Structure 1
Amino acid sequence: MKTLTPLYTGLLLVSMISPPAVAQTPTRDGYVLDKVVQVSRHGVRPPTASNEKLLTKVTQRQWPTWLVPFGNLTGHGYTGAVEMGRYRGAVLRSAGLIAQGCPEANQVLAHASPLQRTKATAQALLDGMFPGCGLQPTYVSGEQDALFQANEMPFAALDPDKARAQILQALGGSVEAAQKRYAPYEEHLRAVACLPGTDCPYGKHAWALEENAKGRFSIKGLSAGANMGEVFRLEYSQGLPLDKVAFGHARTAAEVSSLMVLTKAKYDFLNDIPYIASRGASELMNQISLQLKQGTALADNAAPGSPPDVPLMLLVAHDTNISYLRTMLGFGWKLGDYIENNIPPVGTLQFERYKEVKTGEYFLRIAFEAQSMDQIRNLTPLNGAQIPLKQDFASSKDCRKTSVGVLCPLKGAMATVDHNIDPTALTPYTW
């Protein structure tokens, strides 16, 4: 069952009878922002309960105490997401996509993964974009939504042999070979996280590729180091005193990122695998595609389960979702002090559709945008002098650089978006 807010119910009714009444503003080189889909990660959270248990076990020491339940969005994380929402709202209003003040019901669709941290982040983004309007996101009841938890659901189950083969290829042939390459980073994390003179278990065991009861893979041994790096980044982003961030071993954003090499390795070996990504995110990518095509010659009006046709679609998800989408697109980024392809709190994969005024042709901009680690830590107001980090993606050979970024003809761009959607990993979806 979907949990529908009054806004959302109104959206379904109004969108059937009237287009959004917003004055569109052409750019200086003649483009009008026509539609936006953005997929954002949740904001700053403490480690999840399972991660906290694992890290305590492997390091044999007490980790910092957080003031909210494990895995939940923090107050600091909420405030950072509000600021990102405020900034994005200002950008979209300046472009004429959304109106000043509160939007009409048919202008915005905000839908979140059904976990507390994603629902609360979606609320924060709406509060930042539309302050005082009382908008609320929608989400399914329970803990699984086919858009965001497909990788845990039977309809997107993996062929274990095919998945294992691609994982082993990414590992360089074997888990043993990969662990040997990453041994210096394990040793460095051991020096950071383990108290001197203690019998700390971390880094003393061989990595092992494991398959769980749901058919999903993990690398035992690597998981601890990967989670450790992510927790250190969350500690810094949360604004914890520097003597508590990575037990006092990371006093700058660059130093935090230097402790995240194994975090990236986990994604390289388990998330950024073409087959696994396609199985895990085809449902999400398909809904994004359906939304971007609506109102154009590419629209499939007979497609079942299409989302309501709105100018602005906000989806609040997890880093796993965005990493899968990134892999399906073939889009890589390096932002500021973050490690390559990192997905920070409230990091956002943006799909922006533009229309060229003089020709009527549609173009697509795909970009990734995120606050810097210090902007999140310091809750820096975003304005002309302080803006988020961003990187554009050229999805085809005939893309062009414009005043709003890299724009690619919609037909070719959508071919890239659609290319790795696995039709056997789709399920009927009801908005």
Structure 2
Amino acid sequence: MLEQSTPKSWPEWDVPGGQLTTKGGVLEVYMGHYMREWLAQQGLVTSGECPPENAVYAYANSLQRTVATAQFFITGAFPGCGVTVHHQEKMGTMDPTFNPVIVDDSAAFSEKAVQAMEKERQGMQLGESYKLLEAITDYRNSPSCKEKQQCSLSEGKDTFSAKYQQEPGVSGPLKVGNSLVDAFTLQYYEGFPKDQVAWGEIKTDKQWQVLSKLKNGYQDSLFTSPEVARNVAKPLVKYIDNALVGDAAKAAKVTLLVGHDSNIASLLTALDFKPYQLHNQYERTPIGGKLVFQRWHDNGGNRDLMKIEYVYQSTEQLRNADALTLQSPPQRVTLALNGCPVDDNGFCPMDTFKKVMAEATK
């Protein structure tokens, strides 16, 4: 798809598509190192010691990049401690827990889901984004235009699909736009020279914001309508409910789940989070970002509390591979659930959180 969309040639990568790069591994080690410092500060682990057996449980989707991501995170957080990364045996296939596929086989649901995706898409103003992308890629001289007579992204039509046991899908300009902007974003994060990132055509912050609307819009339309999100996130919601509510007494002190941006996007809608803004980032679900669910106990009031934060690296922290510590931390944004109002410090009562999870797992 990338080659079809421009007459220009793409820079070479040193790993196959879909695999974690060396730089990606370094970024994850840094995030793991920071999270270790933060966990020690909160008294969940002891500095300089390996955590006791079963105190940390790591579970990743069974693809190279998710398992590798988990391994690098664990290396940064608990070096030399032999913390196992669990995953299903068959590598290269999606684990049902992390597979954001439609789990309802009725035609009525499929129709409703497609309508919901179309409605999400209709609410987006992407004309300016497509025009900029057409200029950057020289789309009029691309194979798509010359061979297939598809010469305008802004005038093309999107076709959505919601088939049983498949991910929500779209074909048309939104898919093309997402692929192109994703490629530029990854070039930027990887540290390609500026003149090689989108052939040196992205020069301002505003241009990045305009282009990122396509990547965010793709994800929002596919994974964040309530109808679709609740359906595709169900296995993951059940897993999290079990870890935080059901088996909480038996659960590890720290559970690490490594999936995909589509998992986070659908989870945020399935649990009905309030809208959020991530500062210093163009992406709504940035690469390497962590959704951190924290169980707290208030000794004074003798009650259990829940706090949820989005912990992620800024665009520049990713590009520059900045080491992360308590003194130079990643970005942190406190999130709130509509069904569990938070106090000034971002805490909501665990009893209310349990009700939200009970509703979401129905």
Structure 1 and Structure 2 fold alike (TM over 0.5) = yes
Aligned partners of 1:130, 1:397: CA distance in 2, in Å? 33
The 2-side partners of 1:398 and 1:164 are apart by 31
Measured against aligned partners, the alpha-carbon deviations of 1:194-236 in whole angstroms (never above 9, x if no partner) come to 2786676363562231437655331422101012112211111
Q: Is 1:320 matched with 2:262?
A: yes
**Could you tell me whether the CA contact under 8 Å between 1:280 and 1:324 is conserved in 2?**
yes
Structure 2 CA distance, aligned partners of 1:334 and 1:314?
24
TM-score, scaled relative to structure 1:
0.75
SS at 2:152 equivalent: coil
SS at match of 1:234: helix
Quick one: distance in 2 between partners of 1:62 and 1:353? 50
* Amino acid aligned to 1:207: K
Q: In the alignment, does 2:137 pair up with 1:220?
A: no
> Structure 1 330/277 Cα, relative in aligned 2: closer, same or farther at 3 Å?
same
Matching residue of 1:401: 344
Partner residue in 1 for 2:148: none
Distance (Å, rounded) in 2 between the aligned partners of 1:313 and 1:235: 31
Shift of residue 314 of structure 1? 0.2
Give the alignment partner of residue 86 of structure 1, picking from 24, 27, 33: 33
Report the alpha carbon displacement of residue 349 of structure 1 after superposing the two structures with TM: 0.7
- Corresponding pairs, count: 349
State yes or no: 1:159 paired with 2:102. Answer: no
1:203 aligns with 152
Q: Secondary structure at the match of 2:270?
A: helix
Confirm or deny that 1:132 pairs with 2:46. no
Distance 1:252 1:98, change over 3 A: farther
Structure 2 unaligned runs (5+)?
146-150
1:120-269 matched pairs, under 5 angstroms: 120-142=68-90, 143-151=93-101, 159-172=109-122, 181-194=125-138, 201=145, 203-204=152-153, 206-211=156-161, 214=164, 216-251=168-203, 255-269=207-221
Contact 2:241 2:357 in 1 (8 A): yes
The aligned counterpart of 2:294 is 352
3-state secondary structure, aligned to 2:233 = helix
Q: Contact 1:233–1:257 (CA<8 Å) still a contact in 2?
A: no
Of the candidates 288, 313, 322, which is equivalent to residue 380 of structure 1?
Answer: 322
Q: Structure with the greater relative contact order (CA < 8 A, sep ≥ 6): 1 or 2?
A: 1
RMSD over equivalenced CA pairs, Å:
2.6
Aligned to 2:222: 270
Distance in 1, matches of 2:191 and 2:318, equals 8
CA distance in 2: counterparts of 1:196 and 1:293, whole angstroms: 55
Cα distance in 1 for residues equivalent to 2:309 and 2:106: 27
Distance 2:328 2:221 in 1: 35
Query: What is aligned with 1:48?
Result: none
Q: Cα–Cα, structure 1 residues 253 and 279, in superposed 2: closer, same or farther, change >3 Å? A: same
Q: Distance in 1 between matches of 2:176 and 2:140?
A: 19
Which amino acid is the alignment partner of residue 335 of structure 1? Answer: L
- TM-fit CA distance, 1:347: 0.5
Aligned AA (1:417): M
* CA–CA separation in structure 2 for the residues paired with 1:198 and 1:144: 34
Question: In structure 1, what is the Cα distance between the partners aligned to 2:12 and 2:57?
Answer: 36
Q: For the Cα contact (< 8 Å) 1:189–1:259, is it kept in 2?
A: yes
- What aligned pairs does 1:43-54 form with structure 2 within 5 A after superposition? 54=1
Give, in whole Å, the separation in 2 of the partners of 1:362 and 1:211. 42
Q: CA deviation at 1:250?
A: 2.7
Question: Contact 1:158–1:276 at 8 Å: present in 2 too?
Answer: no
User: Which of 236, 239, 242 is the equivalent residue of 1:290?
Assistant: 242
1:108 is aligned to 56
Distance of aligned partners of 1:347 and 1:254 in 2 relative to their CA distance in 1, 3 Å threshold:
farther
CA distance in 2, matches of 1:164, 1:129: 42
**What secondary structure is seen at the aligned counterpart in 1 of 2:17?**
coil
1:229–1:261 CA contact under 8 A, matched in 2: no
